[in-house]
Amino acid sequence: MKLNVSSKAAKWYKDEFGVSDGTPIRFFVRYGGFNQLQKGFSLGVISDEPMDAAVTTESGGLLFYIEEKDLWYFDGKDVEVELDEERQEPVFLYH
């Protein structure tokens, strides 16, 4: 599994969270919501120190990661985080 965050999406997270270079951003599974992968679950996002990072990537000066306990959600798919230019918000693409 690979995680890729575009530079535009990374800038959005940096601006939205008001964080500086080196800040870790975790994508985690939460109960509820709507998604494409697992019925009844969706992704949450938080600035949090890694405990058991399984997949990591750096973009725009930020460290993005997914912990081992949340890998099941992605079902082995690679994850791309892009910025939807029209809506000005991140979108998740799964391959």
- For residues 12 and 5, the answer to whether their CB atoms sit within 8 Å is no
- For residues 14 and 68, the answer to whether their CB atoms sit within 8 Å is no
Residue 4 has pLDDT above 70, yes or no: yes
CATH number assigned to the domain covering 3-94: 2.60.300.12
**Quick check: pTM over 0.85?**
yes
Question: Given this model, what pLDDT does residue 41 score?
Answer: 72
pLDDT class of 73 with cuts at 50, 70, 90: confident
Question: Given this model, what pLDDT does residue 33 score?
Answer: 57
Residue 37 has pLDDT above 90, yes or no: no
Amino acid at 15: D
Determine the average pLDDT of the residues in 5-26: 96
Neighbours of 19 (CB within 10 A): 15
Question: Given this model, what pLDDT does residue 75 score?
Answer: 84
Percent of the chain whose predicted confidence (pLDDT) is above 90: 76
